[in-house]
Amino acid sequence: MAAIGIDLGTTNSCVAVYRNNRVEIIANDQGSRITPSWVSFTDSQKLVGEAAKEEASMNCENTLFQIKRLIGRKFNDPTVQKDRKRWGFGIVKDGDRPKLQVTYKEGVKTFFPEEISAMILAELKEAAKAFMGEEITDAVITVPAYFNDAQRTATRDAGRIAGLNVLSMINEPTAAAIAYGLDNKSNDERTVLIFDLGGGTFDVTIATIEEQIFDVKATGGNTHLGGEDFDNRMVDHFIEEFSKKHGVDISSNKRAISRLRVACEAAKRKLSVSTNAKVQLDGLFMGLDFKSNISQAKFDAMNEDLFDSTLDAVKTVLSDAKMDKKQIDDIVLVGGSTRIPKIRQLLQDFFDGKEICRTINPDEAVAYGAAALAENIRSGGSETKERLQLLDVTPLSIGTDVRESDMCVIIPRNTKIPTRKMGSFTTSRDNQTALNFEVYEGERPCIHDNHHLGTFVLEGIPPAPKGVATVISVFEIDRSGILTVTAYDSISGSENKIKITNDEKQMAKNEIEKMIAAAEKFKIEDMEWKEKSAAKNELEDLVYKIKQKVQKDTSVSHGDQKKILLKSQATMDWVKTNKKTESKSIRQKTKELRDLFNRMIGFSSD
Ligand code: ADP
Ligand code: MG
């Protein structure tokens, strides 16, 4: 059975598979190679991808997007609080976690971010099934390099809810490096800079590639910079223009802003291939039409500071990797926003006119690399000759509190993963039998400024004067970047191993089965919806054919005609009024109608 690679993006997702000795990008059922990471709920169905995105302006309260920004975060996280102000959909608090609240089929429903991500993953899984003609469950899913343990765990859970067996999770830039490595067959060591500018995030990574070894040297960027910021600048510009022209402020009208944003995003994409773009919206606000123009130069000028800031990140990452820009052999562009000509030009100028690698599709590179790795793991390295070796780094330091609020770093940032590091601790009170550790990640010296990952307690330490016991704790990060902490008391020799009791992990474990069951229910509901829609179509088709037949065929008596048409109408009305009826009943009614016809005028609908 094949294994797929999935780029679960904030804005767009992409799925690929290794087949016929190469990686192939899988198109979705609409024929598109990327699927917007959007999910929408209506009174009759759940939509994923392009169809969900199209719902945005009509049904913004129930149309979810950028859910990756929420995954693995707590409700009180400042970014969650900031983001929710911008979004048109509701976020509620469940314990300390955020949940999305929507109206679906006339009822209020809430979902954890993992469940929404799982719906996107399930859609991609289905596309892969259709493409390969068999059920696909094994997958490699990519995550941003800066994702912490909770975000990675939650992404893995989303995979499980979608019915995937997650073989591994790799960092997006590493996946792009693999795509580049497969594309560039040179055996010499090459240093590449991966520049990923997506919808809402920006990452820069430097890695060296030598045959099958991918060695990440440094990674950095900005978790709040991307195409959406450029859209916002254009939206603000047009709000001002509208105000100047008509003397009214449209900024507080959600629907008008939402329509304007969609138009600006389209204009922005146009400006990547043309020097001018039109923006035209009929009846934008209070019946007033909006018609304007924007030039590429104007767009570049309004985003100058944002564009320039991408170079600052490049400089930081070069310095973290202790490299000079001359040492970079290739520049690989990833993410839709790298299509902006000005960005390409800035980058090229910074690298003294160096050519940018053009053979890799920025929208597909990440999924491409993930699929190559999935195949490599699946086949044990046999088909792609050797096992790929990924030497990734942990983006943030991980440690625990020892004295008061001091952060004691166990695994420093930029440590190669997988890694295993030990720390030695002791008791601070006489006869203390338990030690409590709080695990944090971050670079600040005071733990409270860092991100809390979880708590773990070691019990069963033999009573002794303070400072006698020696507790060894082991911090391990696996290939997917997931952290496990264990501890044992070395003096008593007791194998008192304790895994980190990360709150989120515990909860996810208890809830995951429930979420899987809910996702299954959704799958059945979705299937029933499709069935129902097919049944309705069949009925409509029959009624249409009947009308045609009755009108054309003069041998049908007037009485029969009337009877038949009345029955047709009655059946149609019945379906319309009984909205909740199942496909089975519709098919039954259709059959009754067809039988009546066959009996009355020997008509066969086929
Ligand atoms: P993510 O990694 O966040 O899922 P993508 O890499 O798919 O995102 O990038 C999406 C962003 O790229 C959006 O903001 C979109 O407007 C932008 N984008 C896509 N195509 C173009 C283009 N031709 N020119 C400029 N921006 C583009
Ligand atoms: Mg991306």
pLDDT digit string (tens) for 391-404? Answer: 878 777 888 886 66
The pLDDT assigned to 558 comes to 83
381 or 532, which is more confident: 532
Percent of the chain clearing pLDDT 90 (strictly above): 54
Is beta strand 435-441 parallel, antiparallel or unpaired with respect to 483-489? Answer: unpaired
Q: Which atom of ligand 1 is nearest to the CA of 336?
A: 12
Protein residue with least CA distance to atom 8, ligand 1:
198
Average pLDDT over residues 370-375: 95
Tell me how far apart the alpha carbons of residues 468 and 215 are, in angstroms, rounded to a whole number: 42
CATH superfamily of 396-505: Substrate Binding Domain Of DNAk; Chain A, domain 1 (2.60.34.10)
pLDDT per residue as tens digits for the range 357-372 = 888 899 999 999 999 9
- In 426-529, the DSSP E strands lie at 435-441, 451-458, 471-477, 483-489
CA atoms 442, 171, 215, 139: torsion sign = positive
- Encoding tokens for residue 437? 């550790």
CA 217 / ligand 2 centre spacing (Å): 20
Is beta strand 138-143 parallel, antiparallel or unpaired with respect to 107-111? Answer: unpaired
b/e per residue 284-297 (b: at least 16 CB within 10 A): bbeeeebebebebe
- Encoding tokens for residue 326? 């001359």
The pLDDT assigned to 335 comes to 96
The pLDDT assigned to 374 comes to 95
Least confident of 16-30, 354-368, 505-519, 568-582: 505-519
- Encoding tokens for residue 67? 């859910």
398 or 138, which is more confident: 138
Most confident of 300-309, 394-403, 472-481: 300-309
The ligand placed nearest to the CA atom of residue 366 is: 2
Average pLDDT over residues 68-96: 90
Given pLDDT bands bounded at 50, 70 and 90, which one contains residue 483? confident
Q: Which atom of ligand 1 is nearest to the CA of 11?
A: 4
Is beta strand 389-393 parallel, antiparallel or unpaired with respect to 330-334? Answer: unpaired
Structural contact between residues 189 and 329, judged by C-beta atoms closer than 8 angstroms: no
The pLDDT assigned to 515 comes to 75
CA dist list (Å): 449 to 70, 138, 415? 20, 38, 21
Tell me how far apart the alpha carbons of residues 401 and 338 are, in angstroms, rounded to a whole number: 41
Most confident of 53-67, 215-229, 290-304, 562-576: 290-304
CA 11 / ligand 2 centre spacing (Å): 7
Confirm or reject: Cβ of 173 under 6 Å from ligand 1: no
Q: Could you tell me which CATH class the domain 509-601 is placed in?
A: mainly alpha
Average pLDDT over residues 58-62: 88
Confirm or reject: Cβ of 144 under 6 Å from ligand 1: no
Q: Tokens 């696996």: give the residue.
A: 478
The H-or-E segment that residue 102 falls in is strand 97-104
The pLDDT assigned to 472 comes to 87
Average pLDDT over residues 250-274: 93
Tell me how far apart the alpha carbons of residues 351 and 242 are, in angstroms, rounded to a whole number: 40
Percent of the chain clearing pLDDT 70 (strictly above): 94
Catalytic residues: 7, 68, 172, 196
382 or 429, which is more confident: 429
CATH superfamily of 3-225+306-391: ATPase, nucleotide binding domain (3.30.420.40)
Q: Does the structure show a pLDDT above 60 at 551? A: yes
Protein residue with least CA distance to atom 13, ligand 1:
199
Average pLDDT over residues 230-238: 96
- In 154-312, the DSSP E strands lie at 165-171, 190-197, 202-210, 213-222, 276-285, 288-295
- Encoding tokens for residue 40? 């929408």
The pLDDT assigned to 349 comes to 97
316 or 491, which is more confident: 316
b/e per residue 1-23 (b: at least 16 CB within 10 A): ebbbbbbbbbbbbbbbbbeeeeb
311 or 526, which is more confident: 311
The pLDDT assigned to 494 comes to 60
Average pLDDT over residues 46-72: 92
Average pLDDT over residues 326-353: 96
Q: Does the structure show a pLDDT above 60 at 241? A: yes
The pLDDT assigned to 497 comes to 56
CA 519 / ligand 2 centre spacing (Å): 25
- In 286-418, the DSSP E strands lie at 288-295, 330-334, 389-393, 398-401, 407-411, 416-417
Give domain limits for the chain. Answer: 3-225+306-391, 227-304, 396-505, 509-601
Q: Which atom of ligand 1 is nearest to the CA of 226?
A: 14
The pLDDT assigned to 213 comes to 86
Given pLDDT bands bounded at 50, 70 and 90, which one contains residue 506? very low
The ligand placed nearest to the CA atom of residue 342 is: 1
Protein residue with least CA distance to atom 22, ligand 1:
269
The ligand placed nearest to the CA atom of residue 171 is: 2
347: three-class secondary structure by DSSP: helix
Q: Indicate the top mutation candidate among 68, 268, 274, 360 to test ligand 1's pocket, ranked by most ligand atoms within 8 A of CB.
A: 268
CA 185 / ligand 1 centre spacing (Å): 28
Residues, CB within 5 angstroms of ligand 2 (ion): 9, 198
Structural contact between residues 409 and 419, judged by C-beta atoms closer than 8 angstroms: no
Average pLDDT over residues 24-34: 95
Average pLDDT over residues 54-59: 85
Tell me how far apart the alpha carbons of residues 595 and 587 are, in angstroms, rounded to a whole number: 12
> Cis omega before residue 418 (within 30°)?
yes
- Encoding tokens for residue 596? 């009546």
CA 34 / ligand 1 centre spacing (Å): 11
Confirm or reject: Cβ of 68 under 6 Å from ligand 1: no
Protein residue with least CA distance to atom 18, ligand 1:
336
CA 228 / ligand 1 centre spacing (Å): 8
Alpha helices in 327-379 (DSSP H): 341-350, 365-378
Cα-based torsion angle of the residue sequence 258, 97, 443, 398 in order, rounded to the nearest 10 degrees = -140
Confirm or reject: Cβ of 261 under 6 Å from ligand 1: no
Q: Which of 469, 448, 468 is nearest to 458 (CA)?
A: 469
Average pLDDT over residues 265-281: 97
Is beta strand 330-334 parallel, antiparallel or unpaired with respect to 190-197? Answer: parallel
Least confident of 203-217, 218-232, 447-461, 498-512: 498-512
Structural contact between residues 129 and 26, judged by C-beta atoms closer than 8 angstroms: no
CA atoms 47, 48, 49, 52: torsion sign = positive
287 or 603, which is more confident: 287
Average pLDDT over residues 45-60: 90
Q: Does the structure show a pLDDT above 70 at 502? A: no
> How many helices (DSSP H) and strands (DSSP E) are in the chain?
14, 27
Average pLDDT over residues 444-452: 78
In degrees rounded to 5, what are phi and psi of residue 54? -65, -20
pTM of the shown model = 0.80
Q: What is the CATH number of domain 227-304?
A: 3.90.640.10
Confirm or reject: Cβ of 10 under 6 Å from ligand 1: yes
